[in-house]
Amino acid sequence: MSRNPCCCIKNRILCLLGEIAFDIVAARCYFLLSVELMELLKKQILTALMRRDYKPMGPRKLSVAMGIPAEEFSTFQAAVEQMRSRGQVVIDAKKHISLPAMGHRVVGTFRANPRGFGFVIPLEANAYGDLYVGAADTAGAMNNDVVVARAIKSGRRDGQTRYSGAVIDIVERGNDRFVGTLQKNKSLWFVQPEGKGHFEPILIDDAPSSGAKADDKVIVEIISWPDETMPARGAIVKVLGRAGQYDAEIMSIITRYGLSEEFDEACRSQARDAVEGFKPDDVAGRSDITDEVIVTIDPPDAKDFDDAISLKKDADGNWVLGVHIADVSHFIKQNSPLDKEAKHRGNSVYLPQKVLPMLPEILSNGLCSLQPDRKRFAKSAYITYDPEGNILAREFDNSIICSKKRLAYLEVDAILKGNAEGYAGEVVALLKDMEQLARAIEKRREKNGMLHLDLPEIELEYDDDGQVCDAHPADDCYPHTMIEMFMVEANDAVASLLDRFGVPFMRRIHPDPDAMTQKNLGRFVKMCGLKIPRHLDRHVIQDLLAAVKDTPMSYAVNTHVLRSMQKAEYSPLHIGHFALASTHYCHFTSPIRRYADLLVHRLIDCYVKGVLNKIGLEEVLTEAELIEIGKHITFTELQAAEAEKELKTVLLLQMLTERVGEELNCVVSGLTNFGVFVQCTKFGIEGMIEPGDLGLDEWKFDERSQSVIGKWSGESVHLGEPMKVKIAAVNVAARQLFLMPAEPLVKERPTLNRRKYKRKHHARKKRRK
């Protein structure tokens, strides 16, 4: 049969249009990624220029200092030129790059201090940093307000002009609702807002009519803002409960961080339909592996089991690891009510004794959870290894599994150490094989430069009434590392597959630390008495962490290594994961609790069904969509971590109010002119020692040596040194713990030889000239 020539021409035209459309989409995607990479580079340049030790230098020298590869210098120059044209940087006659000078008017965020003064953090970086505002010049600004301040020259120090400021306008209020404890002073009712940062009390006019009582935790809405003469006034809009009680404290955190708790009817209805429609025997399009030995390993109180493990040997004697992940994407269709809600929440939030799930609990703890002896749908990643843990092959499948055993980490640790009585032989054999393979994988990844920081989590202990009575570092037995290795390998495998197909997807990225930050880390390490090479690559950092393991310096060094790194985030940018030494990386293993994983699962489903290479799939989001979603879920992840950290701090501080005067073992974690910060190794909480409590001397922070030094005695406090302290006072509302050394560093004020001091001081001034 002959072909219709018109049809042939039509098909050719459609094919050509399709190619043109694909080229346009590809070009747009490339453009968006280039823009995102450029913005990332500009952010790194600003960070470098804002450092206190930065001295203006030319572009070539700055790019070298930042560790920019020579082949990327033209991109670096383009970024600098864009920043210059927008007024973000200035370039002088010598071609030196610096931040703009302090303008007469500065727009920024106001940060209040309990002593009445504050600072304006400029929205646009300048060469002089934050602007000090005296107590008389705040104009009623409250913490987190966006303000306009007038900059006033206030002298010179160390050869630089110093500025102070006066707030002249409040552009935008940071908050109009606050959470705090209702208090009464004679006839006046007021609420003291809680949280980090200083907030003045808010007067309450309608306290009796709201039903609230003194010492109730309440939500207050501002009626009139403060000015130079009058404090803010507000109305109580909700009573959360008695201050100090767990329910009131947790509702306070949920409110302040804007966390979602309840699901609407559309979400609940979709979840119910999924449960009612689940047919475990309908395995069409899935591999039935319910007879295989598969186990889950999680914390003892976990209910949302995302991942399960199988392991066997193939005909060639190679390991075949199966990482089986709950197939959430089967139940949560794209753009459905639950998909939109999961995107909004971004992730589950794990608070002490309470979880705010990303998905309704009948899914997160029920249908999707890989419970023992229950048939469950899964996405399975199979990775084949040789006996040394080198990857030979990777495969993916849709499956139905049935976990044979639900295990906890410490339980597995006991089994691996020989306490296996009462466990099925096939489960014990599986666990021993898992340990053998995990150690081989860990050895390979460490050889490639993977970093492991020794900063243990803190677990709270509760009494019979649910109050925190103690805390201890969480266990870090090897099964934690075992599961971590398998999850990292699966994430790596999935990202490698998606990169092979060239589709945009949500990655988990961790940029390399910049050269200037690494230089400061090297300076700190040398002050600790450790010798390291000038260039700090992954392997040098590995050796450093190994050298301080189980020593008093361990906490401080691990903390400084962490601070020297950039934060991991979600983005479609292909820049790898520094800490894991992975070129390809995404999150795949926790779709019950992370939206990023759910996005990746939809792409894996397309791959398994053989359609991932087709154009126009709704599961393949554009880079623009992924960039926006990535920013949002990175923010929700940080919010969840901050909320968990703050609630833990509140519960610990409440416990410590009953222990004023007790001694704590701490490590010096931060130094400033207004105090020494120390971290309690047992409770994981940070407190401050005011300079006057260190001992009978005048104490000053020396930035170069990173120490606080007594002017007359010469006694000093250095970062990372252990210190025994006493609890001096606790301010739960402000999240502050005040400490003092168990024994003063200087017990008697040294006698001053004024003639000798005058000669030394004169000689020092002469050297400066």
Q: Is the pLDDT of residue 767 over 60?
A: no
Sequence-distant (≥ 6) Cβ neighbours of residue 27 within 8 angstroms: none
Measured CA to CA, the distance from residue 131 to residue 124 in angstroms comes to 12
Measured CA to CA, the distance from residue 723 to residue 666 in angstroms comes to 5
Identify which of 89-103, 238-252, 333-347, 655-669 has the greatest average pLDDT. 333-347
Q: Is the pLDDT of residue 463 over 80?
A: yes
Question: What is Dmax (Cα atoms) for the chain?
Answer: 114
Q: Is the pLDDT of residue 373 over 70?
A: yes
Report the pLDDT averaged over residues 35-40. Answer: 71
Per-residue pLDDT, 64? 84
**Where does the pLDDT of residue 30 fall: very low under 50, low under 70, confident under 90, or very high at 90 and above?**
very low
What is the DSSP annotation of 743-763? Answer: S-SBSSPPPP-HHHHHHHHHH
Least confident of 107-121, 481-495, 624-638, 640-654: 107-121
Whether the Cβ atoms of residue 220 and residue 206 lie closer than 8 Å to each other: no
Per-residue pLDDT, 526? 82
Of all residues in the chain, the percent with pLDDT exceeding 70 is 91
Per-residue pLDDT, 103? 67
Measured CA to CA, the distance from residue 694 to residue 706 in angstroms comes to 16
**Where does the pLDDT of residue 583 fall: very low under 50, low under 70, confident under 90, or very high at 90 and above?**
very high
Per-residue pLDDT, 52? 65
Here the tokens at position 153 are 């020259």
Measured CA to CA, the distance from residue 701 to residue 710 in angstroms comes to 9
Residue 145's H or E segment, with its range, is none
3-state secondary structure of 21: helix
Measured CA to CA, the distance from residue 750 to residue 747 in angstroms comes to 9
Per-residue pLDDT, 327? 97
Predicted confidence (pLDDT) per residue in 141-192, tens digit: 888 888 888 888 877 766 667 788 889 888 888 888 899 999 998 889 999 8
Whether the Cβ atoms of residue 331 and residue 405 lie closer than 8 Å to each other: no
Report the pLDDT averaged over residues 521-549. Answer: 86
**Where does the pLDDT of residue 13 fall: very low under 50, low under 70, confident under 90, or very high at 90 and above?**
very low
Per-residue pLDDT, 424? 95
Per-residue pLDDT, 159? 62
Mean pLDDT of the residues in the chain: 87
**Where does the pLDDT of residue 90 fall: very low under 50, low under 70, confident under 90, or very high at 90 and above?**
confident
Identify which of 3-7, 45-49, 230-234 has the greatest average pLDDT. 230-234
**Where does the pLDDT of residue 563 fall: very low under 50, low under 70, confident under 90, or very high at 90 and above?**
confident
- Which has more pLDDT, 114 or 90? 90
**Where does the pLDDT of residue 40 fall: very low under 50, low under 70, confident under 90, or very high at 90 and above?**
confident
Per-residue pLDDT, 744? 92
What is the DSSP annotation of 148-205? Answer: EEEEEEEEEETTEEEEEEEEEEEEE-S-SEEEEEEEEETTEEEEEE-SSS----EEES
Per-residue pLDDT, 195? 81
Predicted confidence (pLDDT) per residue in 391-440, tens digit: 999 999 999 999 999 999 999 999 999 999 999 999 999 999 999 999 99
The number of residues making up the chain comes to 769
Of all residues in the chain, the percent with pLDDT exceeding 90 is 56
What is the DSSP annotation of 600-633? Answer: HHHHHHHHHTT-TTSTT-TTS--HHHHHHHHHHH
Per-residue pLDDT, 180? 92
What are the backbone angles phi and psi of residue 36, rounded to the nearest 5°?
A: -65, -40
Report the pLDDT averaged over residues 16-20. Answer: 45
**Where does the pLDDT of residue 31 fall: very low under 50, low under 70, confident under 90, or very high at 90 and above?**
very low
Whether the Cβ atoms of residue 339 and residue 601 lie closer than 8 Å to each other: no
Per-residue pLDDT, 102? 66
Whether the Cβ atoms of residue 140 and residue 199 lie closer than 8 Å to each other: no
Report the pLDDT averaged over residues 619-635. Answer: 94
Q: Is the pLDDT of residue 23 over 60?
A: no
What is the DSSP annotation of 541-585? Answer: HHHHHHHHTTSTTHHHHHHHHHHHSPPPEEES----BTTTTBSS-
Q: Is the pLDDT of residue 762 over 50?
A: no
Whether the Cβ atoms of residue 723 and residue 714 lie closer than 8 Å to each other: no
Report the pLDDT averaged over residues 23-27. Answer: 44
**Where does the pLDDT of residue 368 fall: very low under 50, low under 70, confident under 90, or very high at 90 and above?**
very high
Here the tokens at position 120 are 């304006």
Least confident of 21-25, 268-272, 341-345: 21-25
Q: Is the pLDDT of residue 16 over 60?
A: no
Predicted confidence (pLDDT) per residue in 481-530, tens digit: 999 999 999 999 999 999 999 999 999 999 988 777 888 888 888 877 78
Q: Is the pLDDT of residue 129 over 60?
A: yes
Q: Is the pLDDT of residue 6 over 60?
A: no
Q: Is the pLDDT of residue 714 over 80?
A: yes
Q: What DSSP designation does 366 have? A: I
Q: Is the pLDDT of residue 757 over 70?
A: no
Here the tokens at position 688 are 């401050």
**Where does the pLDDT of residue 228 fall: very low under 50, low under 70, confident under 90, or very high at 90 and above?**
confident
Report the pLDDT averaged over residues 349-370. Answer: 96
Distance from CA of residue 600 to its chain's centroid? 21
Closest CA to 670 of 726, 635, 720: 720
Cα R_g (the chain), whole angstroms: 30
Q: What is the side-by-side strand order in the sheet with 716-718?
A: 699-702, 707-710, 716-718
- Which has more pLDDT, 12 or 351? 351
Per-residue pLDDT, 34? 61
Q: Is the pLDDT of residue 317 over 60?
A: yes
Per-residue pLDDT, 17? 43
Report the pLDDT averaged over residues 558-572. Answer: 91
| Residue in the structure block whose two tokens are 């290795």 | 485
Would you give the end-to-end CA distance of the chain in angstroms?
99
Least confident of 28-37, 63-72, 86-95: 28-37
Q: Is the pLDDT of residue 758 over 70?
A: no
Per-residue pLDDT, 94? 85
**Where does the pLDDT of residue 20 fall: very low under 50, low under 70, confident under 90, or very high at 90 and above?**
very low
Report the pLDDT averaged over residues 446-475. Answer: 91
Per-residue pLDDT, 420? 94
- Which has more pLDDT, 84 or 447? 447
- Which has more pLDDT, 31 or 553? 553
